[in-house]
Chain A
Amino acid sequence: MNSSKLYNAVFAAGISFILACLMIGVKLDTDSTVLAVKGATAEQWAWIIGGIAVVFLSQLFSTQVDALFRAIPKPDIQALLPQQQKFATLKPWLIAAIIVVMMIWPFMVSRGSVDLATLTLIYIMLGLGLNIVVGLAGLLDLGFVAFYAVGAYTYALLSQYFGMSFWACLPISAGLAATFGFLLGFPVLRLRGDYLAIVTLGFGEIIRILLNNWTSLTGGPNGISGIAKPTLFGLEFNRRAKEEGAMTFHEYFDMDYSSSYKVIFLYLIAVLLVICVIYLINRLMRMPIGRAWEALREDEIACRSLGLNRTAIKLSAFTLGASTAGFAGCFFAARQGFISPESFIFIESAIILAIVVLGGMGSQMGIIFAAIIMTILPELAREFSEYRMLLFGLLMVVMMRWRPQGLVPMKRPNLELKQQ
């Protein structure tokens, strides 16, 4: 134990003492009309002193504490997965089983959990979209939520002003978001890394502020409410049909009305959309364009030496990522029935990025897992109220410390060497 350790410990304890005294030790209270400064109670002082002692000791014995933490075995997620070859034969069955379970499951659980699952599916879609841009093409995008907003507002506005249906708006939303991705792509093509991140961050804010201030069109901070829910071949899920002569779902099938039908229907749409998105992106990744994205991430100069047009490749990644977000946004607007610029703040972008990084860049499986964790954990920890965001942050720190490559790192199908 050398003197620098002691110095560190004293310094840390001093800082905690000052902070604790300021934040807990003194309190301003209204005493009828005047403000009075109150000291802490004896019990609080005991806690403060205890806390300072912990800080002091942990600094003093930091090496031993570190060694103790290192001794905790790291969870070996790889070992939990079935073996490679067995996995390959099981895969189609496994996928079929998962899809069947996902279809049946909502009929057996509460409305709240189906709703949460729907939200998770939205985040999976967003994560998969951003994965193209960040994970595969290696373009750090901090304003991804902008495309999500474009998709959501496209549907909300088209539905409000022109009464268009969800199904018609779905491709339009994706297309419009893709157009925005394309337009953003042009000016930022020359940028890389940090610079690109800043520009996309700005773009995200521009879209949000525009939506917030263009009151005549978007309703500004009041948002747009009463967005039509999706229909099943024209059958509504309301108690009574909105239009004269239209049928509702429960009337058509001669069932009693239940509000949970609507929730389950939305969930099933989300499942369908996610399956479509996974399938499409999976195909894209195996196509030459998917390889070109990765090649561009690896080495731009080599890509150019092979005659690849980096403008086209970057634009295609941006556009496809954005269209996926537009897809998700359109569904989000339909599910919520109400959207406002509040839903598209920077923290959303950060969460989507966290999903991609936590899941393992480029890996679809990892992103699905990470999206589930990132949406369900804050809900589970709801009883911790204000501490839940703290726990959430802590989880991310721990994750990155233990598995910096992500939950399920990207694997190439033909990476393994055959052992003879």
Chain B
Amino acid sequence: MLQIENVNTHYGQIQALHDVSIEIRQGEIITLIGANGAGKTTLMMTICGDPKASSGKIVFEGEELEHCNTPEIMRKGLAIVPEGRRVFSSMTVEENLSMGAYFRTKEQAEETVQYVLKLFPRLEERFKQRAGTMSGGEQQMLAIGRALMSRPRLLLLDEPSLGLAPIIIKQIFDIIERLRDEGVTIFLVEQNANQALRIADRAYVLENGRIVKTDTGANLLTDESVQKAYLGG
């Protein structure tokens, strides 16, 4: 579904990604773990076209993305939940969701709102409330819901567990698994390696801008070096 082949990304003179190759197949949850500054978010942003990859190929459903600009890429059937939630805080939940369906018809949007509200009943309770007045967990749900409003086939999640209570994190991960079961392919970037690897079909480990390991989620959970570096074992 999404192939990333030998991608290099630079911030000015500094190279953030070195020959990164990742393959995401239809219906999988792929997790990317790595320490702070390893280049996880950079990789995600490179998929979205900002910053652009300086070399390499990014192919989504047979289409090359590396020459498209961000708004074009974001309308091709993939959606991103950016790091740190970033909901529109002075807008209501309803308006936030409708922003997510900006490029779709009203009927499609209404249908998807119902779908999202069924996925996150919490949002229905807060439908007319301003997003800024909600708790962190609710905002994260809203951010995911907003991304789902474009009915993406591939969902990129950048640290959805950031700053949330363990019980909320569990709920969020449950939702992610449910989305996968409904056919949405998921690419998950996480610091919370333990939980992220548990739900992953396959996972990649990123270190200093290089992919150093790839295996199934379960295998990586028991891998000694991964345990040492990311799981505190």
Residues of B within 8 A of A240 (CB): none
Known: A301-B82, A307-B71. Is A291-B92 also a contact (CB below 8 A)?
no
Q: Which of A302-347 contact B (CB under 8 A)?
A: 302-310
Number of A-B contacts (CB under 8 A): 76
Indicate if A294 sits at the interface (CB-CB under 8 A).
yes
| Centre residue among A298, A302, A416 by max chain B CB count within 10 A | A302
Assess A417 versus B129: contact at CB under 8 Å? Given A304-B74, A305-B48: yes
B100 interface neighbour in A294, A304, A306, A414, Cβ under 8 Å: A306
Q: Which of A288, A304, A310 has the most CB of B within 10 A?
A: A304
- Check A292 for interface membership: any CB of B closer than 8 A: yes
Please tell me which one of the listed residues A305, A307, A412 contacts residue B103 in the complex, with CB atoms under 8 A apart.
Answer: A307
Which residues of B127-146 have CB atoms within 8 Å of chain A's CB atoms?
128-130, 146
Q: Which residues of B contact A412 (CB under 8 A)?
A: 91-92, 95
Task: Provide the residues of chain B in CB contact with A417, threshold 8 Å.
Answer: 128-129
Whole-angstrom distance between the Cβ of B161 and the nearest chain A Cβ? 18
CA distance A291 to B101 in the complex (A): 12
Known contacts A304-B71, A305-B80, A417-B128; A291/B86 CB under 8 A: no
Interface contact A307-B74, CB-CB below 8 Å: yes
- Shortest distance between the CB of B28 and any CB in chain A (Å): 22
B91 x A304 contact (CB < 8 A): no
The answer to whether residues A304 and B88 also contact, given A417-B128, A417-B129 and a CB cut-off of 8 A, is no
Instruction: Please indicate the chain A residues that have their CB under 8 angstroms from the CB of B92 in the complex.
Output: 412, 414-415
Contact status A414-B150, CB under 8 Å:
no
- The chain B residue with its CB closest to the CB of A294 is B91
Cβ of A294: which chain B residues have Cβ within 8 Å of it? 88, 90-91
Q: Are B48 and A306 in contact (CB under 8 A)?
A: no
In angstroms, how far is the closest chain B Cβ from the Cβ of A186? 16
Quick one: which of B50, B70, B86, B88 has the most chain A CB within 10 A? B88
CB distance from A190 to the nearest CB of B (A): 13
Task: Indicate if A295 sits at the interface (CB-CB under 8 A).
Answer: yes
- Output the least CB separation between A353 and chain B (Å): 21
Contact A295 B75 (CB under 8 A): no
Q: Does A299 reach chain B (CB closer than 8 Å)? A: yes
Task: List which B101-131 residues lie within 8 A (CB) of chain A.
Answer: 102-103, 128-130
The answer on a CB contact under 8 Å between A307 and B75 is yes
- A-B contacts, 15 of them at CB < 8 A, read A291-B91, A294-B91, A295-B99, A298-B90, A299-B89, A301-B86, A303-B99, A304-B50, A304-B70, A304-B74, A307-B150, A308-B71, A414-B92, A414-B128, A418-B128
What residues make up the interface of A, taking CB atoms closer than 8 Å to B? 288, 291-292, 294-295, 298-299, 301-310, 412, 414-418
Extra contacts besides A294-B88, A305-B48, A412-B92 (6): CB < 8 Å: A291-B99, A298-B91, A304-B71, A306-B79, A306-B102, A307-B70
